[in-house]
Every structure is written in structure tokens, then in C-alpha cells.
Structure 1
Amino acid sequence: MGRQRKIQRMAAYRRRRAARVFRGLKRRLGWALLGIFLIFQILAQLFYPSYLTLPLARYNREPYGLKHRDDMVMMEQSKFVSTRLELTGSYGKEQVDLIKLGGRLDESANFNNLSYYPKKWRWVPFSILFWRPDVLTLPITFDDKPLLNYTLNYSKKHSKKATDASISIRDGNISIKDGKKGLSVDANKLRLAIKNKYIDTSGIVRLDVPEASIEPSASSADLLHVRQQAEDIISKHIVVSVAGRQEEFIPSKEQLASWLRVVEESGKVKLDVDSQVFGDFIDAMDKLVAKPAGQTIVSVVDDREVLRQEGVTGERVNRLDFEQKMSSILFRPGVYKYISIDLEPIMPEVKTSYSFSHTQAGLQAKLREIGRRYDTRISLQQLNGEGWGASYRGTESIPSASTYKLYIALRLFDEIKSGRLNWQSSVLGTTVDGCFHQMIVVSTNQCAEEWIRQFGRTALNSFLYERGISQATTFTAEGAIRTSSDDLLRTIIGINDGSLAGGYERDKLLDMMGRQIWRQGIPSGTQGWTANKVGFLWDYVHDTGIVHHPKGVYAISIMTKGANYGIIAKITRELEAQMYP
């Protein structure tokens, strides 16, 4: 019995010891697994991709984690293009696109905020969960010139002069009507208010216009001393006759009173004739004595007039002569006055019909007609088939917008060819390859501006001029890089045929141009497919590219001001219909 108990105690001891060892191993294994997990978690933080937003990033208070840089840039560019400023003033509300005010989007600023994760914090386990950046505004700055032009025009449009007190007749008696306050919009204050306004991401940015009231220069009290003069004027009996006609016109007292306005001259209040109201009287006369002009029909084929049918010349009251005579007698003594006025000729309206032959001359004429109609610059060259080419205002130098990035690409290729750079060289935290993709496919500015800084603006000019680009293209102009539609056409043709870019670089550029995201211009207007590069800055909208039409290949550059990509698409359709009927 004693031996059996001893054996049982030994067995129990071994079981307890085995349990303790197992628990120890289990604890050590748990700590080991935790350590391995923490190591992998820290490694994940250390190597978290710089091209993604942080997992818990937010955009306008909405989750926006794990978004690729290119996707965010495209989203913000779309927001920027569609964002409008809504100005609220005494007159009501008016909206305008930010891009037309000279707005520029910093495409990298918000992404940098949402992807910023300091290295020292990456060593702290789970610290990525505590970085929760949020952006609420678009990072936009304004170029001074277009913003100044807009605010000056806005001020001119919405500022109103004060209405001075005036004289009228009521129930046969002279009465004095009180003046009204005017309104002044300070263009400088408005410009500063726009520049300092936070641009949120809602699509509509609202701003109250800084306004000030203007007191009338002449009050009802000021008119008391001209009352007698007004009574003398409206008591006149005036007969107006038209040379060679039998009609006579006698203005009533009410009409005479309505012509009078109060003006201030050298600090004194006086009466004068209101040309606009007096013009209404002339319009009424013209309805009885004027003879409308006919219409001259002109037919033009390929910019050459082939037929003209002259219309009949009309006639109407000579306004300037009549107003001068009326002003003269109104302020001279005397009750009974007679005026004889002449009629002046009205030239017939010219209506021109255009037609175009299917020839080189017809294409040139059609392109000029389109250019005049849309106030744009166009250069075009067929690369096979008939080989026709045409240009309208093709040598004019205007802001290039993002089309200048084609010139940067040529200079970059030269650096790669010489061995000074390669596609994997570092630039702005990424590679030349990554930067090139952003510059061409997404059309962001950061990489292009960095390469301008590296290459030098004057050196870029020299590089381009040595390759046949004209001095209409310049990186050293004040305000913005400039180019012409002829230079863009020369460049795009040189890229396509290999004379300006060859081999892998040429193929890569044309491939990216075929995949770039802005497809509303030439690509939307053609029946073929396009490798193109767009540009938009302020109210300039451009597009240039190689078009592979089912009936032929051609190069085209369209540079517009105050138009849009819909107009560029329409121009493309019209020119294709002329080339490939």
C-alpha cells in the first residue's frame, strides 16, 4: 500500500510539473506571437505607401482612407473646375467659375495633409490609428490679373449712380421728385475678399459683396432755384417737321418735362436734356417716318465672293442733329419754336452665306470661318492622304496652360537620353516615371514646375528654339508660360513622327496622351481615337493631339479664350466633316 501511494504521488507531481511547463510555454508562445504581431504591425507602418491617404483620413468629414494619390488629384481637379463663387449683393446673386477668376489649384497640398505620417511615430505600435487628418477646403490661390479684371468689370456692372432729384408734371403742375441713393462696389475690397475667402469643397462658395451707398448730388431742395427755368421750358410750344415729309410732331408738356434732368457742373446744379428719354421720343417718330433698310445677300465660296444682291438703303431721323437742335431751343428764350430735321441713310444689313469646296483652299477657308466665329486659334495638318494643312491666328502667343508640359517632356527625354536621368531617378518623393505619369495622364503641376526649376526657364527657351519652335513659345513671359497653336502643332507632329522624340520615350508619351483623363475636347468631337494634351488656365482652354480618323490621320491644335471643351469638340466635328465628307 505504501509503495502504491508513493507511485501515485510521483504521478501527480509529474502531472503538475507538466502543467506548469505547458502554461509557461503557452505564456512564452503568446508573448512571442504578440511580439511578432507588433513587429509586423510596425513594419506595416514603416512601409505604409506614400501614394495612399492614411487609413482613417477624412475629406470634408467623410471617410477618405486608402485613396490613391492620382484618384484624389483627379477628384480635386474635377471639384475645382466645377466650383463656383456666388456673390450676393443688393441686386441679387451672381455665380462665376473660380477658374475664370484666375484660380489655381495646388494639387498636392491636400493629399500631403491626408498622407502625412512622421517617421518617428511609425515606430509606435498602432499610432497610425491616431492619425486622423481631415481637409475641409480646396487649396486655391488666385493670379492677380484675371481676378483684377473680373472685379473691375463686376464693380462697373453693379455700381449704380445716384439718381438726382428731378422735375415732372403732375395734374398740369410742376412737381419735384426726390432723388435716390446709388450703390458703389469697391473692386479692390472685393478682390481682397475673394483672395482671403476659404474655398470649401461644397461646390458653391458664398461671399457677400462689399458695398457702399452714394448720396444724390442734387436733392429736391437744390432744384428750387431751377424750378422757374423748368416752368419756362415746359410752357414752350415746339413744332418738329421732317424735311421732305408732311408729318409734324408737337411734344406735350409731360414729354418736355420728362426730357429734363438735373446735373451738377462746377459745383452748381443745372438742367440738361436726358438723351435716353429723348431717344424714346425719336423712336416714336421713326415708327412714322423711317424707312427700313433691305438686306444685301452675299455668297462666298472658299473665302471668295461669287454673288452679291444689294439691298435697299433705308432712312431714319438723324438723332445727333435733332438732339443738338432741341437742346439749343429748350434753353433759349421764347415760347414758339420750330425745328426742321433731316433723315439719315440706313445701310442694308449684309447677310453672308458660306460654302466650302473639298480642297486645300476650302479647308483653309473653313478653318478661318470657324476661327472668326469662335474667336479662336487653330492649326491643322493632315499626316496622310491629301496632306492638306491650314492655320488661323496660328502664330499668336497666348498663355499655354498645361500644354507646355509637352515641351517639358521633350527636355526630360533629352536628359534621359544623355544619361543624366533615368526613369527610376528620384524626384519629389517618387520616381521620374511616377512624376511623368502625374504630369501627362492626370495633368498635375507639381512635377512640371519642379522640372522647370531644375532645367531653368531661359535654358528651356534655348532648347526649344534650337529644335525649330518659334519665339511665340516662352517660359520667361510675365504671368504665364506662352505658346502658339502653330508651335503646338509642330511639337505634336514631331513627337508623332519621331523627329522630336523617338524610341521608348515617344511610345510612352503617346500612350499616356491616349490615356490622359481629360477627354471632353478633341476626343469627344472626333470619330476616331486621339492621343492629346489639354490645358486650362483662367478662361483659356486648349487641346492639341494626333487624331486617327477612319479615313486618315491628322494633327490639330485648338487654343481658345472664353470658350470650353464643348466648343473644341464642335470645332473638331466641323473640320472632320470638311476633310472627310
Structure 2
Amino acid sequence: SMIKDWSVGAKSWLVIHWKRALLFGGGGIWALMTLAQIVWPAGNLLPFASIDGVKLSGWSKTDATAALDGRYAQTPLAIYFGDSAEAHRNPKPSEIGVSISNQQRVKQTTYPWYLRLAPASLLWGHWAVPTDEAPSYKRDSAVLAAYIKKELGDSCSVPAKNAGLKVVDDKLKLQKSANGGTCTVADVTKKLANAQFSLKTDVSVTIPVKVVPPAVSNGDAQAVADQVGMGISQGINVKAGSQTALLPKDQLITWLDFSVIENKLDYNFNVERASAYLDTALAARVAVAPGVTKVSTYDFVETARQNGPNGQTLDKAGTLVGLKSYVAGETKEVSAATAVVAPSIAYTRTYSPSDVGLSALMKHYAETHPGTYGVALTELSGKHRRALYGGGTSFITASTYKLFVAYSTLKRVEAGTWQWSDQIQGGRDLTTCFDDMIVKSDNACAQALLTKVGFSAITNEAHDIGCASTSFMGKDGIKSTASDLALLLGMVQTGQVLSQQPSRDRLINAMKRNVYRQGIPKGVGSVVANKVGFMDGLLHDAAIVYGPTGPYVLTIMTNGSSWANIAELTRQIEALRIQ
């Protein structure tokens, strides 16, 4: 065929004229290569180019400069003092006021015309273009001075590093010491001011110092390691009562702590890490349960005491001190140390139905139940007894502040400046809002009325009737006390505040319909007019109790208690009161 004839003809021609074909082919390749070399961008480095070991083949000079500048900016300078094997600091150039630019050296890596005409110079020209010129430096002496002052201070001293010991993989490992020293700021400044950075090798400067040896040498630390290692190598037997328990090496070594005290390497066994194992291995062998001391009291007075026997428990810290003495060779054996456990106290309390007895009951109840208490009792008839516990303790009021809002509201109604038909909040008039505030503890109405009265005015009006510990002005909330709440309710019930009985009746009748009844009302079987407050851990109840012997005021303010405990305290107070 035609194609076959052509192929045979071409092969025949190449066999006869191969030299001419080779000459024309090679010449064409050379011409293309030379053309590529002539048009190679002047703003690019040559193929296979590298500077300071950074490969930059064909990069634009702008990108190459940025890359080199970035590398130099992150290169640390190791600062050694004297013969120390450990660098004291490793600042980057900017920290010591040095900025390094590679712009000029990269710019000078030109591809000259004579190389562009040289055969295949794109492949080997990077060897012929010099790149060993150093980068340019700018130095800021003020930044350097500030760095030296911050890191070394005015004295230019480097503390020696004491040798130490550390437990690693259940073995004692030596933490080697290092000399310290003193130097001059001038020497440091001179060394750092002339520091040169490199991307090819680690860079460092050594500051001449007057050597200060460590207090604890490697030999000192090794001696302690040998002593401890020998002492715990076979474990340690500890006598515990009539028995002996072996504390194994693999436990003992994990309890060790090492520290330098008064220039000597010391060691101790750590109580926290040893605690769980000692509980298992020793505690039960030495434990003796304590007895019970029985105490009888009448009001605040102790009337009888029958002492119970002391118990005994493992003294872990003391036992570990004994282990150390054994390891140090100061004792030949170790006994478990013990500590006395005092007997528990069981109280049998009786109270007189008096001011003192009621106060004692409140105190003892508060001390034996969770939370903080403020309690005030005032009888308004009969024996007129008064009892307090923490009556002056200040609490955030929660919703009991609404009693003061109610009082100030009624004052304004009596004065004629407010009318029960006044619109207060959300379409509700004063009649509805007042009732909702007390019966349902409605917050929107209470806040609207408080704003209408004014924080300063309501505080002053509370103070005017003797509630001196009540304030609406504090940054941390409205505060009052059990005594102040009791005083307010007592004066309302007895007519000592507010001039019109219908005003007082409106408040008391609303309190009788209050929906929150889990505190004081639950602790008595009588009619109760009360107002509660609860917020976060705060539980308060302020009440007028209409008991069989006449009305009395009881206020209980708590933080961290419960409604059940408030009800139980009320029950106990009522039981003592009616004796």
C-alpha cells in the first residue's frame, strides 16, 4: 500500500542520511531551548534554584522574598550562658529588635544575556547564578534593650538549675543540674546586637558569665536516688495492730515527691496519691469505732454529760513520715501511725416555754439542719414572748419585699394620692394588682408598684417604722432581715402602722389567701396569713399565725434549706410555745 511504501522509503532515507537528520533535529531543539531561555521572565528565579536550602524553583522573586523573610522571622536564636548545655532563651529576631530582608539578595539573582544564549542553561544556570549573598539586617537598639531588661533584669544573672529526681516509668530519673552565673548587660548587648541568623544551621550566641554552681549537684541527687532506691527496693513492712502489711516497691515509688529545701534535695511520700492504697492495706487493721457521748441540755445550758470512748483511725500523713524515716535509715521498722477519733455526740434537748427556751430551740434546729437561718418570733398577746436566732442576718428578700411594697401602697391610698381604680400594669387596676401581688406573688404588678413608689422612698418608709436593716438600694439586690419582717407584720396586726383598719384588713386578708402554703402554714394547725419568697436557694416565709392562745408573728428566712424543714421548725416552735 501507499502508507507502507512511504514508511519503507523514510527508513531507507534515515539509514542513508542519519547525520543530516540528527543535525537538523538537534538544531531545532537547541533553537527552542534558546528561545525559551531568551523569553524567561526576569522576575522569576531559574528552575531548580534554591537559597539558604529553601527550594524556590521558578518562583517569582516577590514570592521568594516573602518566603525567605517569613522563614528568617521564625528562626530562633539560642542564648547560652557560660558552659551551660541548655539554652536560657530562644528569641525570634523581632524580639531582639532585628528585622531581616532578603529582597536585595533575591533581586540580584539575575539571568544575564550570555547565560540565556548558553546551551541548555535553563537546566544548569542556577549553579552559575550566585545566591550566597547574606540578607540585610536592620536592628532596633531600644527593642533589644527592653528585651534584655525584661528577661535578665538589671543584674544580668541566670539562676543555677539544681539537680533533681523524677519518677518516670516507675524508675527514678536524674534531672541534671546546670550552672548559673552573672554577666554584664554590656556583654549581652554586644553579643545580641551582632547576632547573625541562618536557615541552614542552628544559630546561637554564648554570653560570658561568672559561673555560679547549683546548690544541688548531680552527685547530690544521685546519692538521694541511691538511698531511696535501696530503702524501697524490697518493699516496706508496716506493723498495723497485731498484723504486718507489705507495701510493695511499685506502689511506694509512685508516691514519691522531690523538692529542694534549704539547698538540699529532699523527698516525701505524697498523702493524696498514697491515700487509696493505705485505706485498703492498713486502715481497717488499726480502726477502732468511737463511742457516743450523751449530752442533755435545758435551753442553752448543758445539764448532764456521759462521755463515750474515743475511737482510732489511720494517720496517713504520720505513717508516711515513718516510711521516710525508715528509708533514711533513722528507724529499723515502721508502725502505722494512728489518730484519735472523738466520740459522736447525741443530744437530748429540753426547752423552757420562755424567750430563752424558744431562742435555744431555733439555734439548735438551725445548727443541725442544712442552710443558713434567720428566725424571729413575736407574740402579740398572752405572754408576749420574743425569740430570735439570726434575726439580724441580712438576706436577699426574694418576694417578701412585696410586703414593704404593700405597706407603701396602702400609705398612698390612705393619703388619697392613689386610688384603687388607678391603672397599674397590663390593664389591671390597683385593686387587682395589689391582690395578685400578695395572693399569687405576681412579679409584674410588684415591679410596677415598686417603680411607682421609688426605691429610695420605699427604703426611707421602711426605716421610718423601725425596719432599719431593710434596703432597696443595694447593688446586690433588695435585702432585709427576719427581725424587720416580723416588726412590719407585728405593727400591721396591732394597728401601729397604717391609720385605717380597712387598709390593714386588705393586706391581711390577701395574705390569708396566699397560694404558697408549704412552710409555716403546714407546720401549724391554725389560720395563717403569710407571704413567701423563693429564689435560687433562698426560701423565706413571713407569717401572722392566729393560734388558740392569740396571734403571733413568725418569720423564717433561709438559704439552702427546704420547705419541709421550715414547716418542721414551725411545728417544734408551736409545740413548745403552747406548753
Q: TM-score range by the shorter chain?
A: 0.5 to 0.7
Equivalent runs, 1:83-98 vs 2, <5 Å: none
State the distance in 1 between where 2:550 and 2:332 align.
76
For 1:365, the equivalent position in structure 2 comes to 360
Question: 1:406 and 2:415 equivalent?
Answer: no
Q: CA deviation at 1:466?
A: 1.2
State the distance in 1 between where 2:167 and 2:449 align.
64
Q: 1:376 to 1:336 in 2, by over 3 A?
A: closer
Question: 1:504 and 2:516 equivalent?
Answer: no
Q: 1:434 to 1:293 in 2, by over 3 A?
A: closer
Aligned-partner SS, 1:395? coil
State the distance in 2 between where 1:389 and 1:279 align.
51
State the distance in 1 between where 2:251 and 2:310 align.
31
For 1:477, the equivalent position in structure 2 comes to 474
For 1:252, the equivalent position in structure 2 comes to 248
Question: 1:355 and 2:350 equivalent?
Answer: yes
For 2:299, the equivalent position in structure 1 comes to 302
Aligned-partner SS, 2:393? coil
Q: 1:362 to 1:256 in 2, by over 3 A?
A: same
The question of whether the paired residues in 2 share the 8 Å contact of 1:461 and 1:474 is answered with yes
Aligned-partner SS, 1:486? helix
State the distance in 2 between where 1:539 and 1:293 align.
35
Specify the code of the residue in structure 1 equivalent to 2:441.
S
For 1:565, the equivalent position in structure 2 comes to 563
State the distance in 1 between where 2:363 and 2:235 align.
58
State the distance in 1 between where 2:301 and 2:461 align.
42
For 2:434, the equivalent position in structure 1 comes to 436
Question: 1:324 and 2:321 equivalent?
Answer: yes
For 2:483, the equivalent position in structure 1 comes to 486
Q: 1:335 to 1:567 in 2, by over 3 A?
A: closer
The question of whether the paired residues in 1 share the 8 Å contact of 2:167 and 2:254 is answered with no
Question: 1:422 and 2:399 equivalent?
Answer: no
For 1:346, the equivalent position in structure 2 comes to 341
Question: 1:279 and 2:279 equivalent?
Answer: no
Q: Give a deviation string over 1:339-380, Cα, whole Å, max 9, x none.
A: 356544333333222122333332222122222233321111
Specify the code of the residue in structure 1 equivalent to 2:573.
L
Q: 1:234 to 1:503 in 2, by over 3 A?
A: same
For 1:543, the equivalent position in structure 2 comes to 541
For 2:531, the equivalent position in structure 1 comes to 533
State the distance in 2 between where 1:537 and 1:386 align.
35
Q: 1:229 to 1:478 in 2, by over 3 A?
A: farther
Equivalent runs, 1:159-174 vs 2, <5 Å: 167=169
State the distance in 2 between where 1:343 and 1:320 align.
10
Match of 1:517 among 510, 515, 521: 515
Q: 1:370 to 1:344 in 2, by over 3 A?
A: closer
Question: 1:495 and 2:492 equivalent?
Answer: yes
The question of whether the paired residues in 1 share the 8 Å contact of 2:167 and 2:256 is answered with no
Q: Give a deviation string over 1:309-335, Cα, whole Å, max 9, x none.
A: 2223344444322223424655x6x89
Q: 1:541 to 1:335 in 2, by over 3 A?
A: closer
For 1:171, the equivalent position in structure 2 comes to none
Q: Give a deviation string over 1:402-461, Cα, whole Å, max 9, x none.
A: 111111111111211222111112222332112112211111112222222222212221
Equivalent runs, 1:90-109 vs 2, <5 Å: none
The question of whether the paired residues in 1 share the 8 Å contact of 2:278 and 2:316 is answered with yes
Specify the code of the residue in structure 2 equivalent to 1:407.
F
Q: CA deviation at 1:291?
A: 4.2
Specify the code of the residue in structure 2 equivalent to 1:516.
N
State the distance in 2 between where 1:294 and 1:335 align.
37
With 411-420 and 318-327 compared, the bigger mean Cα shift is at 318-327
Equivalent runs, 1:232-243 vs 2, <5 Å: 234-241=232-239
Identity of aligned residues (%): 29
Equivalent runs, 1:6-45 vs 2, <5 Å: none
For 1:465, the equivalent position in structure 2 comes to 463
The question of whether the paired residues in 2 share the 8 Å contact of 1:442 and 1:516 is answered with yes
Larger Rg: 2
Q: CA deviation at 1:258?
A: 6.2
For 1:552, the equivalent position in structure 2 comes to 550
Aligned-partner SS, 1:250? strand
State the distance in 1 between where 2:401 and 2:351 align.
34
Q: CA deviation at 1:292?
A: 4.0
State the distance in 1 between where 2:528 and 2:568 align.
15
State the distance in 2 between where 1:413 and 1:315 align.
65
> TM-score normalised to the size of structure 1?
0.54
> TM-score normalised to the size of structure 2?
0.55
Match of 1:450 among 448, 453, 461: 448
Aligned-partner SS, 2:247? coil
State the distance in 2 between where 1:395 and 1:536 align.
19
State the distance in 2 between where 1:341 and 1:430 align.
75
Q: 1:365 to 1:535 in 2, by over 3 A?
A: same
Q: 1:346 to 1:516 in 2, by over 3 A?
A: closer
Specify the code of the residue in structure 1 equivalent to 2:352.
S
State the distance in 1 between where 2:248 and 2:331 align.
13
Q: Give a deviation string over 1:271-327, Cα, whole Å, max 9, x none.
A: 974524533454443433454433322111112101112223344444322223424
Q: What number of residue pairs does the alignment pair up?
A: 355
Q: CA deviation at 1:552?
A: 3.2
State the distance in 1 between where 2:548 and 2:167 align.
71
Aligned-partner SS, 1:296? strand
Aligned-partner SS, 1:523? helix
The question of whether the paired residues in 2 share the 8 Å contact of 1:167 and 1:230 is answered with no
The question of whether the paired residues in 2 share the 8 Å contact of 1:371 and 1:378 is answered with no
The question of whether the paired residues in 1 share the 8 Å contact of 2:520 and 2:541 is answered with yes
Aligned-partner SS, 1:376? strand
Structure 1, unmatched stretches of 5+, are: 1-163, 169-173, 175-226, 264-269
Q: Looking at both structures, which has the greater relative contact order when contacts are Cα pairs under 8 Å and sequence separation is at least 6?
A: 1
The question of whether the paired residues in 2 share the 8 Å contact of 1:547 and 1:553 is answered with yes
Specify the code of the residue in structure 2 equivalent to 1:422.
Q
> What RMSD in Å do the two structures reach over aligned CA positions?
3.6
Q: 1:294 to 1:402 in 2, by over 3 A?
A: same
